[in-house]
Structure formats: C-alpha cells, structure tokens
Structure 1
Amino acid sequence: MSSDELSPAERYAKHTDGRRHPRLAAFAEAAPFPLDDFQLDACRTLEEGHGVLVCAPTGAGKTIVGEFSVDLALEQGRKCFYTTPIKALSNQKFNDLAAVHGSENVGLLTGDTVINGEAPVVVMTTEVLRNMIYAGSPTLNNLGYVVMDEVHYLADRFRGAVWEEIIIELPPAVTVVSLSATVSNAEEFGAWLDSVRPTTKTIVSETRPVPLWQHMMVGNTLLDLFDAEDSKNLNPALTKKIAQQKEREQRYHRRRRHVDRGRVVERLDRAALLPAIYFIFSRAGCDAAVDECVRSGISLTTPQESDAIREFAEGATSHIDPADLHAVGFNRWIDGLAAGFAAHHAGLLPVFKEVVEQLFERGLVKVVFATETLALGINMPARTVVLERLVKYDGTDHVMLTPGQYTQLTGRAGRRGIDIEGHAVTLWSPDFSPKIVAGLATKRTYPLDSSFAPSYNMAVNLISTAGLRRADEVLASSFAQYQSDQHAVHIAEQARALARKSELASQEASCDRGDYLAYYGLTKELSRLEKSNQKRRKGQLRDAMKADMSDLKRGDIVWLGAGRRSGWAVYLEHTRPRKNRGAEAIFLTTDSRAGAVPMKRLTDVLVDGKLKMKRNFRRHDADQRRDLASALREATRDRPRPTRRGGRANDPKIDSLREEIRSHPCHSCPESGRHAAHAARWWKLHSEQQTMRKKARKRENSLARQFSDVRGVLVGLDYLEPAEDGEVTVTDRGRLLRNLFNEADLLVAQCLHDGVWEGLDPSSLAALASTVMYEARFEEEDYYIATPGSINEALAATMRRYEAINRLERARHMELTARPQKGIAWPIYRWARGEDLADALRSFEGPKAMPGGDFVRWTRRTLDLLHQVGDAARTIDRPGAQDLAKCAFDAADAMKRGVVADM
C-alpha cells in the first residue's frame, strides 16, 4: 500500500514508527511485499535490542525476521550467525543471503564445507556453532546475532540437545532470534527462553498468509471436506459419495486396489491444482509413482519445458562420472523429470534432490512424490499437497499421523505471492472416515517437548570449560528441566488437592470410640496378610500337585478337587501339547465319562489307591469305560475324601492381628459400616497422594540425576577424576573425548586411547569407523565382510569395549551407546579403496539394497567421524596414535570423491 492510499492517521503512525525504527523502515521499504504484523512486531523488538521467539505457520515468512537480524548486524558492524538444522537448508540460505548481501559478506560452515568462514554473516549447521562455543573459537568475537532457524528441532531425540546447549551457553551480549513452526506450547517455550536469555519476547501468529482448503478425493471425484455453508460440518455430498463408493465395492466384491497415481495427477491437473507435492510415506513408493506416471504416457510439460529440464539436469550432474550416474539410475530419473515428475527422499543423491528442488521452484517440475522429510525446512511450497495415506511407519510400527504432522505436511500448500489459496487433498480409503481427516485438520496440537539429556562429550566439555558447578547450572537451566519442573509443580498441586480431599474424608470417618482410620488400617493389613498367606499356600499346593502329577501312573485313583469334574476319577494318560493348548491329562470319572483336563487347571489332585486295568484298555470303547467306572465306584464306596499332609498352618502374625482388631474400641461401633466407607475413601486418596508426591520428587532435578549417572561412568573409566573439594577434573582421556562429537563418542574414545584402531590401512579404518555410527533402517542383515582379518580383529576389540561400557550403563539404567553394526563396512571399504559406485552398492547382501543417497549420507557421516578421529588422535602422545591420525585423514581424503564429494 502506497503512502497516498493511507489515511492521515495511518500516515502519521507510519512516520512515527519510521523515526523510532529507522532500520526497519528502510528494510520494509525494500521488501518484495508488505510485511505482516507479526513480522513488523518481531523486527521492532530486534531493533529495540531484545531477543525474539517467532512461532508462525509454514510459509508465513518467519525467515524475514532472521534476514532483518542479518541487516541489523551488518549495519552495526557486528557478526551474525544464521544456523539451520540440516546442510541442505544451510546451502539454500547461504545462496539466498549471498545474492542479497554479496558473496564477500556471507560464509558457509557445515562441518566439511568451509566458505569464507570469517565473513560478517556466516550460515552454519547448529553442531558447528556448538563446537565453536566449546572450543572458545575466536570466530565468536564480535558476534551480535544468532538466528536459530527451525528451532523446534530441539525436540529431535538425537540432535535436539545441541539447540539448548547453544541457547544457554552463548554470551549474554548475543541476541538470539528463534524461528519455529507453530507449536501449541509456544508461551511455555518463550517463558523458558526469557528465563535463560532475559528480555526475549514471544510472538505467535496462527494466520496462514494463503488460506488453505481441505478436500478429499473419492475414486476420481474431488470434493470439499467441509460444508460450504457451515464449515464446522462435513460436506453432505462427500458422505453421500463415500456411501456410494462403498456400496459399489461391496456389490462387485472388490478389495481396495492399488492407487492409480496417474489418474490422481490428471484429476489435479484438470482442476488447475498443480504444482503439487504428493506425500507417500515410502521411498520405494515415491520412485514407483514416478515410474507409473511415465509408463502411463502422462506428460505435464511442453516440449520446450522438457528440453529445458534435460539441459539443466545434465548440466548440474555433468561433473559426476557417467558410470556412477548409471549406477543410481540417471536415465530413469531424467525421463521422469522431463515429463514433469520427480521423487524426493533421503535415498536420492544430494545433487538429484537439489535439481528437483530448483526445477520445482522454477515451475518446470509439476508433481513431486515425496516422503515426509521434505516437510522439514526446505523452502519448496506448492499450490496443492496430496496425502495418499494417513498412516506412516515410525520406525517401530505403523501409526496414524498426529494433528501436528498433518499441519506440517499440508502447510506446504499455497505459494505466497502466487496462489490466492492453497489446497490439501486426502485420498479416501475405507480405512478411515472424513471425520478423522476433519479432526486432523482442525486440531492444533503440536507441543514442543525437549529431548535434552546429558551426553559423555557434553559432560567433559562443560566440566572442562566451566567446572562441575557451572555444568550443573547448565543442566538446571535447560528447557528439559524447565518442563520437568513445571510438570512437577502441576503434580504437586494435584497432590495438594488430593490431600484436601483426604482430610475431609478423614473427618467424616471420625469415631467417638477411637481412631477409626487406625482400626481400618489394621483390617487392611489383616486382609493383605491373609491374601499373601493364601497365595503362598496355593503355591505350595500347586508345587505338591505338580509332584503328584509327575508321578501319576495308569490306573491311579485320584481325587479331583476342583471344576465340573470334581470327585473320584481314575487316571488314564497324558496328551501331547498342541498349538495354543498345553498338555492335558485324561481321567475317567465315576459316571463313565472320559475327558481331558488342562494341566494348568489341576490345582488340587490327590492320589489315593490304584485300579488294575486291562493292558489293551481303549477309552473310546463305551463298554470298557462302563466296566472301569463300575470298578472305580466299588473301590471308592464309603472312602472319605483324602487330605493333603500338613493341613493348614496357623500364622502367628495373623492370629495376633485378629486379636488386636477384636480388642480395638472401634470394633463394636454401631456406625462401623458408615465409618468404613469414609475410611476406604481416605485410604484411596492417601495412596494416590503418595504416588503423586513420588512422581513430583522423581521429576525434580531429574537431569541432575542423569548427569550424575553419566559422570559415574566417566569416573569409572578414568575420563573424570574426583577432587577433594567436591569438584571433578578432566583427565587426559577426558580431553581426548572433548574432540569427539558423535553418538558413539565414549566408545570411539576408548578405542583411540587403547590403540585398538592403530595399524590399519586407510580403507580398513574407514570400514571400522562406519560400524560405530551406522544405524540400519531395518533389522540389520548379517552382511558378509570380505575385508582383511585385521578389521575383524579390531572390530572384536571394539566390541569388547562396547560390552564394558554397556555393562556400566545398564547398571545405571542408561542407554547412551549403541551397539556397533557392520552393515555398511564392506561397501565403505570398497569405496575407500577407490572402487566405483556400482561395485560399492553391489556389496550389499540381503533383500534390501541401499539407495545411492543413503550410501552417500552414511559415507559422509563416516568421513566426518574420521576427521574427528584424526583430530583426537593427534592429542595422544604415542607414535601409533600419530600414525592413526594420518591414516584417518588419508581415509577421509580417499572417500571424498565423486558423488560423495558432491554436496
């Protein structure tokens, strides 16, 4: 809106705001679109010198606030670090900021990539900044702003602690700009931020810049989810169409067929709902969807667009060896692109994913079949988002999407400045009703829960840089402890409410003859002892019965003491255990019936005599059964029921308690029934109150207890040494551990200190390093490792150290160190030796081959670990360790080639 279109009051307000916030005024003037209220509010807060937490929907423009902090830093002559959770997002942001501020002013640090690292504006992954803080890097000098993009990643159970460490440990003079997706507990998160970084303001916007319409596709019919006249109700036409579809399927006895993705795409195209992101929660499903569309002959591109796509894709991959491209299906991939289709998932080569993202952003690729990882951070909006299913595999089981996940996925629909509205389309299935979709679409519950927990590396770094007391303060300052304390307060309040109710019940149970609650307590204790005694007697009887049953012989006369067959019987035989049924015993009763009784039901069988039976007795012969039953009746006539030796023993405690109850003054109270009802309520409330108090105590200082356990392991393995003043000091081993930022940090440190990785060649070291950080997506196959025996020896030594760590962790109920897995060792070995990608990928045994993108990702992670191993080994004063350091760097250099180097 131009100044001429504003009212006098609006012009005055704008003028006044421009005088108070001159930098924002200039920034907003240069922006490509008018800034929203939440963006202006956040930017004003930053210009006034305060930190800010911005929570807003996907696509709302949160990054504008981060970009304004970059502008402020440059204007003030200070540095700004822009952190992201993933390398792809770092690369994207680096290019965006370099285009605005010039490549000389913007750098990139992603662990293995260093571009202009001392620039005033540096984009980096969060781990890089965390490591800088622990190392006291001079690059932190003159740092004014840190942008924490996608800060809700602190809920990630593997990497979330990094965000909290940074927020707590950054110098107070640094302004933190936190950008988050919409979360339902934004105020709680903001309150914690303000407690550790004072004067942090929380700004929440739940308004989507582009309205989102919800649809369902039934068969080939696209219908609105909600009623046009009353948006709170479902669309009647939709429910009618679903009923017709169900009737049709029942009439023709059809099961649900495979989704025809080509027809879905054509329907979206006719409705002008492309470009679209089509979510399929399966990598194989995404690849198959592209193949289906290509085979069906569908093309969403013009000849000119197809030529432009091929030219761009071939140019972007021209530096890769043709043999490597062939190994990962380059021709199939580019054919899909040329037709306007692409897959996007973690199994693709990074360069393939970048090409897809850029072509989609340029409007050349019209449909991307993606897994949910696309929804995490990458700027790739579409007009429409399609959900093929509402169930996804979470690594353990197939589970329904949560409202938060549904919101995050559909949040990609609607391109700001391009679309006037976005569209979310769910494909109907008999497995779920429209009500379920409506519930997901309307329920805004996406809580942000901390995953912060102390690690071994964190412990030695915190103690080394600031001492034990400061380490304890950091843990106490974490969002995890803040949430735990808040929950403890809530639980304590519940306990107090129960206490008030129990006090009232106590008053109502009062008796003028004495303490009725004490009397009622005696009766409960008697009941407990009697039940315990009865259970013990039953156990003894069961043991005796088992002994009797094991000695049963054909013709034994027994007394069946329980069940509908109770009475005298004669034992015939045992049956073999069957599926879903245990062993059974066959008895003949006095009424000539022969039947099987499950052994587990025979709780009281007493043997008393024996009948002589024919050797060829057949229980299916009615005459033989009658003759044997007659003999049984004759033998047991006038015989008393047998009793088990020992009888029922008296318990002195029970006898004493009974006497105490009888002599209590409340025992003869005529109001005993009424008192007992109130006393029972008091006992129930009192028990719940005690449980609540235990929960509250458990939550209080929970991280301190975990940290104590971590320190206990480190002290036991000589990484920390207790001092007389209650402090602890970091040993030489601990200083070695400081350089290892990995889930297997302690295991790697043990192996380096003990020298078990020394003496290996670079390719063998690379293979061995992969075993401590690789995690199979599926149950690990027993892959064949055709590597030298030296690797197997070193792996066996590594496993012995893992077992030692695992024993210490189990003793403290911890699970910090994962068991090494050899699943990628052989392919890594071959790649490090210089073999081509096709040979490395062919190394995978088992039913599931590893996609090229996964191989590259795990190879890159192994490469990162090798750099850490090299740096750590340099600190060990031992010739073999110095050789190991060189070997580690040589292995990393050997691996960083071809598709692995292309990131």
Structure 2
Amino acid sequence: MCAATSDPNDHELSPAERYAASRRRVEFAQTELGRFSSSLEFPMDPFQLEASEHLENEDAVLVAAPTGAGKTIVAEFAIHLALRQGKKAFYTTPIKALSNQKYTDLVATYGEEHVGLLTGDTSRNPEAQIVVMTTEVLRNMLYADSTTLENLGYVVMDEVHYLADRFRGAVWEEVIIHLPESVQLVALSATVSNAEEFGAWLDTVRGSTSVVVSEHRPVPLWQHVMVGKELYDLFSMTGDQEASSQVNPELVQLAESARRDMQPNDWGRPGSRGRDRQRTRGGRRQGNRRQSDREGSAERSRPSPRKDLRVSRPQMVRTLAREGLLPCISFIFSRNGCDAAVEQCLNAGLDLTDRVEKTQILETVDRAATVLAEQDRDALGFWGFRDGLRRGFAAHHAGLLPLFKEVVEELFAAGLIKVVFATETLALGINMPARTVVIERLVKFDGESHKDITPGEYTQLTGRAGRRGIDVEGHAVVMWQPGLDPGAVAGLAARRTYPLNSSFKPTYNMAVNLLARFGRERARNILESSFAQFQADRSVVGLAQEVQRQERSLAGYEESMRCHLGDFTEYAKLRQEVLRAEKAASRARHRVQRRAIMESLNNLAVGDIIEVQGARSLGTAVVVSTAGNPTNPRVGVVTAKGQLRRISTDELDDPIVPFAGVELPRKLLTKSPKHRKNIAGWMHGAIGQQRPPISDGAEPVGFRYIDDHDLARVDELRKQLHAHPCHGCPDRDKHLTWANRWDKLRADIDKNVAKIRGRTNTIARTFDRIITLLTDFGYVENDQVNEPGQSLRRIYGDRDLLVSMLLQAGVMDELSPEDLAGLAALLVFESSTEDQVFQPAMPTDMLQGALDVVDEHWYTLQQAELAADLTVTAQPHPGLVWPIVRWVRGHELLASLTGSDMAAGDFIRWARQVMDLLDQLASLDDTHPDLARRCRRAKDLVNRGIVAYSSAIRIPEADTKADEYNAIENLELDQ
C-alpha cells in the first residue's frame, strides 16, 4: 500500500530504498487518492487507504469497522471520485435523521448548490451531483426507472448491516440487486462476524468486490463494572486491556462473595460477615490508563454482605464526574426509566454545567421552543425538560417530542450536555459520541419477554464511547446488578460477534414491481440472487453432512433396540401411533368445542345477558354489538362495571348461553362512561325477570365434545399394542429407551432433509405463491400486471395489498380528507401490545362504515394468506384513529391524545407514517385524480404544527415565527 506521508523509519533504509520510497510517495501524490488524502487535516488510516485504493481501481468495496473508526472517509473519497469524473454520487442511510445530518455535513463541505436531499416527504435539489437519501427512496427510484438515476457513478450504503432488520432490511438487498452494473457500490458496515460471507455475495451480484475489515478502534475502549461508588476494570491489567481475556479476579471474588451472601445460612437468613471493607479506588488514573487499586488483602476488599452493591443514578453520575468520564450516555432499556433518571437527578440537586454553559443551553432551548403552543408547554413537561438541560442532563427516547430530541442532540454534540439517559435506539441513530457509555442492565424487554442482550447489541451500544480527536480512550461501564456474572460480561465484550443475517422476503409490492419490470422468470432469478438465498444455499452443505452423521447414529440405535421376541421397530411404531391417536382425539374434541363456542357467539343478539368466564372472565355482561364475521366472531359487550369489551372464541372455555335479556335502544350509544353505566343499570334491572337459564349446569344442549370414532380408534390400537410379542419382553423398557432415541433422531433427520429441500429456491417459491394469490385477487393476469396491480406498485408498507384492496373496492371514493386521514391511521398503526382496544364508535359515520369494510377485507386476505402459506398481514388497529382525527380537526397535541396512553413522540412518528401513506395514494393522480386531491388535502391537515416541524437541518432564529418552519424536513424517530 502506498503511504501518504514520509515514513518515519526512512533513516533505517539504504539510499536505494529511500529513493524507491520517495518515488512511491511522488506517484501516490499524483493519484486521485493522493490528492484527496492531502486535502484532509489528518493522515488516513491503513484500512481507509486500502478501501479507497480498491475504489480507485474501480472495484466495489465493503468496509466493516467499529463505530467511530472513520468509515465515512471512504464514502467521501467515492464522492470525490464522482465529482472528478463528472458523475453523480448517492449517499443512502437507513433513517431520515441520519440523512438530514449527512446532508448538513456535505453542504458544509461542498456547498448547498452541489448537494441534494430526498427523504420521501422532502425534496431539495434532487438533480444535484451529490444527493443524500434514505434507502427506501433509492429503491423506489429503481423501480420507477427515475431519470434522476442517469449518470449515477457511485452509491454509498451507510449502516448496510441494517439489512438484518426484520422490518426494513429487504430494502437494502433490493437496491444492491437492482443497481445498474456501471454503479460502484460503497457498503459501510459495523464490524460483523461474517463480513467475508457478505462480501462474497456482493461479489456475485455486483462483480468485483473487495472486503476491508478493521477491528481496530482509533480510540481504545476500556471495560469497567461499577460496584457501589467504585469502578473496577473488567479485565486484568496485564498488558493491553483490549487484547486481554482474563477477567479481573477482584470482580470474580466480589461476584462470588455476593452470591454466597444471598444464600441462607444455618438460621435461614443471608450470611453475616464483618461490615468493614477497604474502599477500592477503581477509577484512579495512572497516565492514560484507568487501573484498580490492588492494595489490601482480598478478604478486606470484599464488600459487606448486607450492603447493596448497586448505586443510584445520581451517584453513578457523580462517580463518573469524579473520575473525569463525562460526557456519557447511560443506556436504560425503558422510556419510563430514562424519564425517571432525569427526575432523580433533578431531585438529587445534580448540576453539571457552569454559568457560561447554562446561558448557551437556555438560548438554544428557548429559541427552539418558539414552535410550541403556550398551552402545550406545561402539559408536555417543557419546564422540567428545560431545567434538566440547564443542569447538564436529559432523556432521549422514541416517546420524546421530536423537538426535545433534536435539542438534546444539538446540545450534546456541542458538549453542553454531560449525561443523556437513552434507550438503545440512540445506538442506531445520529452521531452522538461520548467519552463513556453506561449500560444499566444487561437484560431488555423485546416486546414479548425479557432477554439478555447479545454480544452484537453490546458492541453497538458501547461503540458510542470515545470521541475521535477528543478522547485518548473511551470507557464502557456496566452497572452492578444482583446475580451479575463478570465472565458473562467479558463474553459480551468479545470482538466480531455480530452476525449479519438476511431478513429478505418478497412482498406484494416487490412482486408486482419485479413482475412488471422483468417478467416472471427473470424476477425469480433476481430473487434467487438475494443474500437470503445465498446464505440458505451455503447452509445446505453443512446440513447434508449432519444428516450423514445422524444416519450412522441411527443404525447404532436400531442395533441396541433389537428384541429376540419380535420386531421391536414395529412395536415402537405402533406405540407412537397410539400416542398420536390419543392426541388426535384430544384435538378433535378441542375443535368441536371451539366450533360450539363460535356457534354460540354467532347466535347472540343485542340485549342478551350472558356470563363470560374463561381467559377474560368479565362476569355478567350484556351484548351491545353482534358477531359480525361468522367465521371470526367478535361480540361487543358492556360489563356490570360499565366497561366496553369485545370477546372472541380465543377467550372462552365453553359456549356462551344467554340467561336473560334486556331491550336496548335502537341507536345505542356506548362511547361515554355515562352511556355505558346506563346500559349496565338496564342489565341489572332485567336479570332474573325475563329468561330463566336454559341449562342446569350440564353440557349445553346441541354441544357434544367427544367423537366416538376417535375413541374407538384409540381402543383398537391399544389392543394391537398389547397383543404384540414385544409387549411381554422383560427388557421392553430398555428397548423403549433406545427406540425413543431412534424416533427422536429419525424426526431430526426428517427435519434436516426437509430443510435441505426447503432451502433450495426458497425465495423464488415464496414469490410464486405471492403471484398466485395476486392472480386470484385480480392484480395479475397471465403473469402480466394489470391496472389494479399498477396501483399496487406505488403502495408500500406492511399492509400494502390490503390498502390496494380497499382502493379497488371504492372504500375511499366518498371519504372526506378528514376521513381519509382517519382511515390511513387505521391502516398504518400497530399496537405495541397484543391487546386490541375495542372501539366500536368511530369519529364519523363514514369511518364507522369504512372500519367494517376494512375488517371484512382483512379477514378475506388473512384466509387467503393462510391457505397460501404466506405471512399474514397484521390486522388493522383503531388505536390511532381518534388522535389523528382530533389533530386534523385542529385540536392541540395534548387534546388530540385525550383518552390515549400514546406518548407525544409516538404520535408524531405515527402521524409521519399516516402522511407517507397519504402521499402514496396521492401519487395515483393518473388513475384516481379526485382521490389524489383529497389525499393531498388530508396530508396538509396532518402536516401542521409540531408534526410538520423538524430542526434536524436548522433551528429557527430567535426572531423567527414558528409557522415559517412548518414545512421543514421530517425527522424520522427511532425504530
């Protein structure tokens, strides 16, 4: 590799060698890389030089390096090459916040006239030579054959490891596959454990691709555990800590001592030893290294058994301040936890800023807050937020108002805020490096259960520690928690443990776009070239070897279960058949019972009084809305407490039988608590007067759960089993042990064989099933995309086909802009919990009718997807409808969220997605001009006030009115 500067060891070379080195430097200076390198204020790192050389040699390049290592220098060289060659360069990022930030950086370097920005709802100078965009925008350009792609020479894909994201990762693969062959790709990734595999795939689909991997952090990272008020090094301090794998024995001793203290002693209480311990100064600085004080015996350094080794958040901050380790980001895997941390620091009187810093902070926050309505400031907690910022700390999470997040980001980047309590989404967001990263707990809730964080997640979080050019070292601190295992923490801190696995799956929108552009066969070939298929094909080799090994073991099991009385394999199979028959009988009973429950729900009428037991156990209730869909009945009821609920077959153990009834008004109002209390009162008055119970506790008439045929089958098989010769074998149990092992191994072999078959052409076969379903629904005819399919090509999102079905059914034809916003809210929103709030009354009659039609179409689509073995489209959820409708009617933010537990930041994030869907529908101007006009109006109604505001590119000056910035670019919130 060529050197950009003179070699400090030149004096050790011979004259001839020095002359050759000088010639190489002269030649390097005449290359584009040499000219680019000389324009930088710092020498390029070896991996940056290597990757840039590959680019200059017209290779695509994958650069995998730690956060903060300087991967973007390679991207900037690609932009330099594009400008020198008179070509365009696109810089893509996974989220709009990163696009906005990169746009700002490039404008500062190249000038506003040379840089464009495209983020879906923002278009600035799109024909510029350098254009920053989200990856979805580039994907859409490729499908639309946009003229903006003309003369494109280079595409930078920042954070390319996002292709592992299960929600949006497929976009990266679509772009990589569809980019013209003439375009050079620059893929920038975090350090992953299978960069070579990903690079091999890029080589197959993009041509010559070089993989450059660097695990070196320009700012060394030191690992610590905070125990009480002290910092302990995670690894032993022998030599280079980054290369050390030996866990600090003091930490091991502390963990063992704490574990013993938690065990009961002879009196049934935790052990009791002396309270004295030596205070170990884990944060003492010696030169540029942090080292634990080893003075004193191990016994004296052991903490008191009854002393809590944890420390409060304010004390954690004080400890870091004492050791000179601020600013820091403290990751707390809970929004409420982040907010609580700020409150605790305020209550503790923590103050981290001086007078000058306070003045600068207040000027920034007060200037930005001019866009907030006066009445919203108190309700949004602005003054507490402001006070925390003034003292140098703040929270940062997806539920926070975007304006507040932007202010935190700006002040933290400027070094004015010293501590940010953040959720893990900050690790994937815009550039906010710190000297120290704190991880409060090594367990997080993933939406379903609490799970340990992975080594990859740990690496991503701690990658924020250490600011290049500012810090000589970065620090990662794990807070002590009961049961913490230092060895497990050390395992998390290991290198290259983040695997990159494809999440690519064909979608309806992708399918019609591929079919329209390439035809069916070429589309299948394109899908088979995906990284997902590449990984699946590679895994087949290992599976085939595993099957061969298992077959050899199977033969040994057969020999061990041989019986002198007969064929024990036959006996074992008969025994398994008995077990399967018993399970089948049980399942049949469950099906009959479920059918009976479904029938009972369908038979309920408004006014029936019932007793709801089972999972919901609502008690006495009266029916206020009937089942609706007979194959998926959901009955609305009002309980004795005046609660409005919906019950379905999944929530009942037995059929529902009315035991009384009440006459209810024809126009039944259930929205307000007062109306529901009236209904409950009418129910109480009617109980016992009109309808006696129809049964005395016995099985309801007409419902029979037992199938005589199934029971007879079980009895017959049991007789055959007992009559088999091997049934009387004295070694039967021993043989059965081997038979069970044989059966389990046989099942494993069959699964592996099925995997081998299933992983061949997996993606293409999924595509075929999608095309078949789209043909059945009238979007495709003879492998040609027809008019409905053309509309589907422009609709993106998790419910793309459902949206198109509603469009084709005319559901949107008569809706007002206000109703269209409400319908879009219904179609984009996804609840963070599985419980769906029953909301029978929509804001308008038109929306109420639309909700019923949406439900019917979703059920039709769901059944078709289940039959086709495709991923089922998520059911629409009404939780966002009322807030959005109130907002478009002109209500303020807090008034719009009345009755909802949705955070302000979440509402704005969902409002952005509502606008995205309205934008997509507005693009159908050629086929649905009136709808497009109304959708544009609906988007304007949503895009106002704090929803429209974003200061990711600039914050308004003190004398600027807020309404002048209502159209500033959107900042996408955390994933």
Aligned to 2:861: 805
Note the alpha carbon deviations across 1:64-114, whole angstroms, 9 max, x for none.
111111111011100000000000000000000111111111000000011
Aligned to 2:849: 793
State yes or no: 1:45 paired with 2:54.
Answer: yes
Cα distance in structure 1, aligned partners of 2:848 and 2:858: 15
State yes or no: 1:888 paired with 2:943.
Answer: no
Note the alpha carbon deviations across 1:643-693, whole angstroms, 9 max, x for none.
xx999989999999979x9xxxxxxxxxxxxx9999999999777655432
Task: Say if 1:253 and 1:109 are closer, same or farther in 2 by CA, change over 3 A.
Answer: same
Note the alpha carbon deviations across 1:184-204, whole angstroms, 9 max, x for none.
111111100101011011111
Query: How far did residue 4 of structure 1 move?
Result: 8.0
Q: Assess if the C-alpha contact under 8 Å between 1:78 and 1:120 holds in 2.
A: yes
Alpha-carbon RMSD: 3.8
Aligned to 1:353: 405
Q: Within 5 A, what are the aligned runs for 1:358-507?
A: 358-442=410-494, 444-498=496-550
Aligned to 1:758: 813
Give 2:885's match in structure 1, choosing from 826, 829, 832: 829
Cα distance in structure 2, aligned partners of 1:490 and 1:63: 36
Aligned to 2:574: 529
Aligned to 2:909: 857
Q: Assess if the C-alpha contact under 8 Å between 1:18 and 1:24 holds in 2.
A: no
Q: Assess if the C-alpha contact under 8 Å between 1:81 and 1:146 holds in 2.
A: yes
Task: Say if 1:686 and 1:319 are closer, same or farther in 2 by CA, change over 3 A.
Answer: closer
Give 1:119's match in structure 2, choosing from 128, 139, 161: 128
State yes or no: 1:202 paired with 2:257.
Answer: no
Give 1:213's match in structure 2, choosing from 195, 219, 222: 222
Q: Which moved more, 1:822-831 or 1:650-659?
A: 650-659
Q: Within 5 A, what are the aligned runs for 1:658-669?
A: none
> Could you say what secondary structure the match of 1:107 adopts?
strand
Q: Which moved more, 1:359-368 or 1:784-793?
A: 784-793
Task: Say if 1:677 and 1:4 are closer, same or farther in 2 by CA, change over 3 A.
Answer: closer
Cα distance in structure 2, aligned partners of 1:731 and 1:795: 27
Cα distance in structure 2, aligned partners of 1:816 and 1:647: 36
Unpaired segments ≥5 residues, structure 1: 510-515, 544-578, 580-644, 662-674, 723-727
Aligned to 1:108: 117
Give 2:35's match in structure 1, choosing from 26, 29, 34: 26
Q: Assess if the C-alpha contact under 8 Å between 2:571 and 2:721 holds in 1.
A: yes
AA at the equivalent of 2:534 = Y
Note the alpha carbon deviations across 1:538-587, whole angstroms, 9 max, x for none.
999xx9xxxxxxxxxxxxxxxxxxxxxxxxxxxxxxxxxxx9xxxxxxxx
Aligned to 2:359: 307
> Could you say what secondary structure the match of 2:224 adopts?
strand
Q: Which moved more, 1:646-655 or 1:303-312?
A: 646-655
Query: How far did residue 785 of structure 1 move?
Result: 5.3
* Identity over aligned pairs, percent: 49
Q: Within 5 A, what are the aligned runs for 1:334-733?
A: 334-442=386-494, 444-498=496-550, 522-529=567-574, 532=577, 689-722=749-782, 728-733=783-788
Query: How far did residue 489 of structure 1 move?
Result: 1.9
Q: Assess if the C-alpha contact under 8 Å between 1:783 and 1:844 holds in 2.
A: no
Cα distance in structure 2, aligned partners of 1:539 and 1:308: 72
Q: Which moved more, 1:137-146 or 1:305-314?
A: 305-314
Task: Say if 1:245 and 1:139 are closer, same or farther in 2 by CA, change over 3 A.
Answer: same
Query: How far did residue 864 of structure 1 move?
Result: 0.9
Q: Which moved more, 1:266-275 or 1:428-437?
A: 428-437
Q: Assess if the C-alpha contact under 8 Å between 1:526 and 1:654 holds in 2.
A: yes
Task: Say if 1:834 and 1:13 are closer, same or farther in 2 by CA, change over 3 A.
Answer: farther
Q: Assess if the C-alpha contact under 8 Å between 2:578 and 2:717 holds in 1.
A: no
Task: Say if 1:139 and 1:774 are closer, same or farther in 2 by CA, change over 3 A.
Answer: same
Q: Which moved more, 1:228-237 or 1:473-482?
A: 228-237
Query: How far did residue 238 of structure 1 move?
Result: 3.0
Note the alpha carbon deviations across 1:776-824, whole angstroms, 9 max, x for none.
2234444585611111111111111111100101112322411001111
Query: How far did residue 320 of structure 1 move?
Result: 4.0
Query: How far did residue 695 of structure 1 move?
Result: 1.9
Aligned to 2:196: 187
> Could you say what secondary structure the match of 1:59 adopts?
coil
> Could you say what secondary structure the match of 2:370 adopts?
coil
AA at the equivalent of 1:19 = E
Give 1:818's match in structure 2, choosing from 865, 874, 877: 874
Task: Say if 1:681 and 1:899 are closer, same or farther in 2 by CA, change over 3 A.
Answer: closer
Q: Which moved more, 1:357-366 or 1:528-537?
A: 528-537
Task: Say if 1:294 and 1:11 are closer, same or farther in 2 by CA, change over 3 A.
Answer: farther
Q: Which moved more, 1:236-245 or 1:888-897?
A: 236-245
> Could you say what secondary structure the match of 1:343 adopts?
strand
> Could you say what secondary structure the match of 2:768 adopts?
helix
Query: How far did residue 524 of structure 1 move?
Result: 1.4
Query: How far did residue 122 of structure 1 move?
Result: 0.3
Q: Within 5 A, what are the aligned runs for 1:112-191?
A: 112-191=121-200
Aligned to 1:232: 245
Cα distance in structure 1, aligned partners of 2:716 and 2:496: 63
Cα distance in structure 1, aligned partners of 2:255 and 2:552: 53
Query: How far did residue 719 of structure 1 move?
Result: 0.6
Cα distance in structure 1, aligned partners of 2:193 and 2:499: 5
Q: Which moved more, 1:7-16 or 1:442-451?
A: 7-16
Aligned to 2:605: none
State yes or no: 1:321 paired with 2:366.
Answer: no
Query: How far did residue 754 of structure 1 move?
Result: 0.9
Cα distance in structure 2, aligned partners of 1:493 and 1:13: 51
Query: How far did residue 520 of structure 1 move?
Result: 11
AA at the equivalent of 1:481 = Q
Q: Assess if the C-alpha contact under 8 Å between 1:844 and 1:850 holds in 2.
A: no
AA at the equivalent of 2:133 = M
Q: Assess if the C-alpha contact under 8 Å between 2:572 and 2:739 holds in 1.
A: no
Q: Assess if the C-alpha contact under 8 Å between 1:3 and 1:11 holds in 2.
A: no
**TM-score normalised by length of structure 2:** 0.74
Query: How far did residue 521 of structure 1 move?
Result: 10
Cα distance in structure 1, aligned partners of 2:713 and 2:520: 63
**TM-score normalised by length of structure 1:** 0.79
Q: Assess if the C-alpha contact under 8 Å between 1:520 and 1:679 holds in 2.
A: no
Q: Within 5 A, what are the aligned runs for 1:833-848?
A: 833-841=889-897, 843-845=898-900
The structure with the largest alpha-carbon Rg is 1
Cα distance in structure 2, aligned partners of 1:316 and 1:538: 65
Q: Within 5 A, what are the aligned runs for 1:768-779?
A: 768-778=823-833, 779=835
Q: Assess if the C-alpha contact under 8 Å between 2:566 and 2:725 holds in 1.
A: no
Cα distance in structure 2, aligned partners of 1:479 and 1:89: 25
Q: Which moved more, 1:781-790 or 1:196-205?
A: 781-790
State yes or no: 1:749 paired with 2:801.
Answer: no
AA at the equivalent of 2:774 = L
Task: Say if 1:518 and 1:60 are closer, same or farther in 2 by CA, change over 3 A.
Answer: same
Q: Assess if the C-alpha contact under 8 Å between 1:306 and 1:338 holds in 2.
A: yes
Unpaired segments ≥5 residues, structure 2: 263-269, 273-303, 589-614, 616-711, 728-734, 951-975
Query: How far did residue 499 of structure 1 move?
Result: 5.3
Query: How far did residue 721 of structure 1 move?
Result: 1.1
State yes or no: 1:735 paired with 2:790.
Answer: yes
Note the alpha carbon deviations across 1:495-544, whole angstroms, 9 max, x for none.
344557778999x99xxxxxx9999995412443366469979999xx9x
Q: Assess if the C-alpha contact under 8 Å between 1:23 and 1:47 holds in 2.
A: yes
> Could you say what secondary structure the match of 1:751 adopts?
helix
Q: Assess if the C-alpha contact under 8 Å between 2:245 and 2:490 holds in 1.
A: no
> Could you say what secondary structure the match of 1:61 adopts?
coil
